[in-house]
């Protein structure tokens, strides 16, 4: 049982100490990267490679030529750039994608649709509803607010669509993506994502489930404790089609009680979102304070958080914010998300170190992210060092489907859309799960290694992006507006007077796309020129040859693995 107490001992709880603890406080764990940390012996990535990893993780795009030059001149600039990236406008968008992978609220469809409201298209409707909770989380992260606001805030984020269909009023200015801070006007408690329509439209409840599914999502997302992953051991003779028998087992069978004793009291906090008519969008749009005590009829289990009673979502939010597992879960999520692997037993000391950075930063997520990026496990080079696996270092990881789409869009200006759907963020009319993403229903976890369908998606995305940017650069009246093809007039040929321009262009592409300097007489340039000649021989068109060369670079494994 997690001990809870009044606000006066909140800090002690966050530090993992109970009010009655008397044993000596253990010495702090070795700092990540210190001489006592075994991972410190692992070779570090080259500065441009590390810069690429940090930029993709914090902004979703590859570094600019100016940023690469800055790090080449001064590797110490990496720390400065890391902090700058977290102030970049794209950081908040990256946090939206990051938390969408965890909450799984970014669904293609909901129980209600745009047609229920008689306006808006389905793509925009699903995107707006699904992103409400993660937009709040991303705003808390981007503005360096205490992470406790995720469960205590009296505001949310809304775009024009949500302001139109839900009881919301705007309280701030809209950002570039059209999202602004807003407040609900239906009297619901101040509880951050716990009080958001987007969360509970994504995770609805049947009568018999009585909010238990919703309670488990609270536990999974905020405590890293998924009840559905626990082993089940109960009387197999219980008739699961008999609701009374099931309720009796929940209350008496030790195998059921083990979970339901803590799960059901959490579910009892959520009856303000209960709808008598599940098909009524109007009833499901508003919060119902008068229904908060329906737990008395539904389960008879009073609201509580691991033995500590409460009565409202405000209580629940405060109890979660004061639970030591809440910041510990955040550390595990950020650490695992940035390393693209699950935290394991060997990471305990490291997680403790990063947790201290989170607490020292006032529970702002930015110091935590900076701490993980400084960890040698994050910075490990791809080498044969014997400690590499032993310390859980990650010398190479695969981009997410969001990062793949964003880096192509940044390099080429191409975003793969159809009828309002972002095809890399949708499955209904898109390729999200084929590209390694998760839809939260049939696939609940993003791929962490390449597969056949991902490579096919990458191929088509690379071809479309290459053609798009070539057309843009060819037609650009001002040479300074060109994105990638900045040195060509397209009359150059290998072996002729224009070969130097072709070589320089290929060098620029490698530097911009891979943050790698290649020699004019190196094997990369020779191979690219040979490919260009082959494509030219087949097509007879220099534009097609350059588009084919660029698409080959965008299909390189180093574009997926970073």
Judge if 433 and 554 occupy the same domain. Answer: yes
DSSP for 54-100 reads HHHHHHSSPPPHHHHHHHHH-TTHHHHHHHHHTTSHHHHHHHHHHHH
The confidence score (pLDDT) of residue 285 equals: 96
- Helix residue ranges, H only, 308-451: 313-321, 325-339, 348-360, 365-373, 376-379, 387-390, 401-412
Domain stops at, among 288, 321, 354:
321
Task: Say what the pLDDT of residue 243 is.
Answer: 66
Both 274 and 418 in one domain: the answer is no
State the pLDDT confidence band at 13, using cuts at 50, 70 and 90.
very low
Split into its structural domains, the chain has a count of 3
Are 421 and 550 part of one and the same domain?
yes
Alpha carbon of residue 390 to chain centroid: 27
User: Which pairs count as long-range contacts for 306-309, CB under 8 Å and 24+ apart, including other chains?
Assistant: 306/1, 306/2, 306/4, 306/262, 307/1, 307/2, 307/4, 307/262, 308/4
Task: Single out the residue in 178, 195, 212 at which a domain terminates.
Answer: 195
- Output the pLDDT for position 260: 83
Phi and psi at residue 473, to the nearest 5°: -70, -35
User: What CA–CA distance (Å, rounded) separates 504 from 314?
Assistant: 61
Asked if residue 336 belongs to a domain, the reply is no
Same domain? 408 vs 550: yes
DSSP letter, residue 272: G
pLDDT at 38: 87
222 located within any domain: yes
Provide the pLDDT confidence category of residue 562 given band limits of 50, 70 and 90.
very high
- Mean pLDDT check: name the lowest of 201-205, 230-234, 334-338, 421-425: 230-234
Whether residue 525 sits in one domain with residue 439:
yes
pLDDT at res. 371: 98
Indicate whether 238 belongs to any domain. yes
With beta carbons less than 8 A apart as the criterion, state whether 42 and 381 touch: yes
Note the pLDDT of residue 338: 98
**Residue 381 included in any domain:** no
pLDDT higher than threshold 70 for residue 459: yes
Q: Does residue 421 contact residue 121 with C-beta atoms inside 8 Å?
A: no
Do 210 and 275 belong to one domain? yes
pLDDT tens profile 479-514 = 999 999 999 999 999 999 899 999 999 999 999 999
Residues 422, 544, single domain; the answer is: yes
Residues 2, 10: contact at Cβ < 8 Å?
A: no
Residues 316 and 411 occupy one common structural domain: no
Give the gyration radius of the chain's Cα atoms: 26
pLDDT score recorded for residue 412:
98
Average pLDDT, integer, range 103-126: 92
Residue span of the structural domain in which 280 resides:
203-321
Residue 530 near residue 445 (C-beta atoms within 8 A): no
* Average confidence (pLDDT) over 48-54: 98
Adjacent-strand bridge partners of 561: 398
Lowest mean pLDDT among 196-210, 256-270, 519-533, 535-549: 256-270
Q: What pLDDT, in 10s, does the model give residues 410-442?
A: 999 999 999 989 999 999 889 999 999 998 888
Token pair of 543 as six digits: 């534009």
Look at residue 31 in the predicted model and tell me its pLDDT: 72
Indicate whether 181 and 209 sit together in one domain: no
Containing 196, the helix (H) or strand (E) segment is none
Q: Please indicate, yes or no, whether residues 183 and 214 belong to a single structural domain of this protein.
A: no
HEC secondary structure over 124-175: HHHHHHHHHHHHHHHHHHHCCCCCCHHHHCCCEEECHHHHHHCCEEECCCCC
Decide if 236 is inside a domain. Answer: yes
In a domain, 377, yes or no: no
**What is the pLDDT, as a whole number, of residue 118?**
85
Strand partners of residue 380: 44
> pLDDT digit string (tens) for 340-360?
999 999 999 999 999 999 999
Residues 537 and 1: their CA atoms lie apart, in Å, by 72
| pLDDT value, residue 440 | 85
Q: Is residue 359 part of a domain?
A: no
Q: Show which of 175, 195, 215 is a domain's final residue.
A: 195
The pLDDT assigned to 18 comes to 30
Q: Do 508 and 413 share a structural domain?
A: yes
Q: Are the CB atoms for 198 and 129 separated by under 8 Å? A: yes
Once rounded to an integer, what is the mean pLDDT over residues 268-277?
96
Work out the pLDDT band at 12, boundaries 50, 70, 90.
very low
**Which residues make beta-bridge pairs with 111?**
none
107 occurs within a structural domain:
yes
My answer on whether 407 and 555 are in the same domain is yes
Closest CA to 490 of 440, 437, 541: 541
Distance (Å, whole) CA 544 – CA 170: 49
Tell me the per-residue pLDDT of 121-177, one tens digit each, with 9 for 90 and over. Answer: 999 999 999 999 999 999 999 999 999 999 999 999 999 999 999 999 999 999 999
């Amino acid at each position: 049982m997690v001990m809870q107490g009044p606000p006066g001992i909140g800090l002690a709880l966050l530090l993992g100490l109970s009010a009655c603890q008397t044993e000596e406080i253990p010495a702090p764990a070795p700092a990540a990267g210190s001489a006592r940390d075994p991972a410190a012996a692992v070779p570090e990535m080259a500065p441009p490679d590390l810069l690429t990893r940090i930029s993709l993780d914090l902004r979703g795009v590859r570094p600019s030529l100016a940023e690469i030059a800055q790090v080449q001149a001064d590797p110490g600039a990496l720390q400065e750039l890391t902090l700058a990236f977290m102030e970049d406008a794209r950081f908040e968008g990256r946090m939206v994608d990051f938390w969408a992978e965890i909450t799984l609220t970014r669904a293609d469809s909901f129980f209600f649709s745009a047609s229920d409201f008689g306006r808006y298209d389905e793509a925009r409707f699903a995107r707006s509803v699904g992103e409400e909770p993660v937009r709040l989380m991303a705003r808390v992260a981007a503005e360096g607010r205490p992470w406790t606001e995720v469960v205590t805030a009296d505001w949310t984020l809304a775009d024009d669509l949500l302001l139109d269909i839900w009881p919301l009023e705007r309280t701030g200015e809209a950002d570039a993506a059209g999202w602004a801070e807003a407040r609900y006007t239906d009297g619901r408690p101040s509880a951050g994502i716990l009080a958001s329509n987007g969360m509970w439209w994504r995770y609805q409840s049947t009568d018999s489930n009585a909010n238990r599914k919703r309670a488990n999502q609270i536990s999974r997302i905020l405590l890293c404790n998924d009840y559905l992953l626990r082993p089940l051991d109960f009387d197999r003779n219980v008739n699961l089609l008999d609701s009374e028998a099931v309720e009796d087992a929940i209350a008496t069978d030790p195998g059921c009680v083990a979970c339901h004793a803590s799960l059901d009291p959490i579910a009892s906090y959520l009856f303000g979102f209960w709808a008598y008519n599940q098909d009524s969008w109007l009833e499901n749009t508003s919060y119902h304070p008068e229904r908060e005590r329906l737990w008395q009829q539904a389960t008879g289990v009073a609201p509580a958080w691991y033995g500590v009673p409460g009565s409202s979502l405000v209580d629940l939010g405060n109890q979660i914010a004061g639970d030591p597992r809440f910041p510990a879960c955040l550390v595990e999520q950020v650490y695992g998300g940035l390393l693209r692997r699950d935290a394991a037993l060997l990471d305990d000391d490291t997680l403790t170190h990063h947790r201290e950075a989170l607490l020292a930063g006032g529970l702002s997520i930015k110091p935590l992210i900076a701490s993980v990026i400084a960890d040698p496990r994050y910075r490990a080079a791809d080498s044969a060092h014997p400690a590499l696996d032993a310390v859980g270092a990650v010398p190479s990881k695969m981009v997410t489907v969001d990062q793949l789409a964003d880096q192509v869009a940044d390099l080429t200006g191409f975003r793969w859309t159809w009828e309002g759907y972002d095809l890399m963020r949708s499955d209904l009319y898109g390729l999200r799960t084929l590209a390694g993403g998760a839809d939260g229903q049939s696939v609940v976890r993003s791929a962490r290694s390449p597969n056949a369908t991902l490579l096919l998606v990458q191929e088509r995305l690379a071809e479309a992006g290459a053609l798009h940017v070539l057309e843009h650069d060819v037609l650009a009246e001002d040479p300074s507006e060109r994105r990638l093809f900045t040195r060509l007039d397209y009359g150059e040929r290998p072996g002729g007077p224009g070969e130097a321009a072709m070589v320089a262009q290929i060098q620029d592409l490698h530097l911009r796309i891979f943050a790698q300097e290649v020699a004019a007489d190196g094997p990369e340039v020779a191979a690219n020129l040979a490919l260009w000649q082959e494509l030219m021989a087949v097509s007879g068109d220099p534009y097609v040859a350059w588009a084919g060369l660029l698409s080959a670079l965008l299909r390189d494994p180093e574009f997926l693995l970073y």
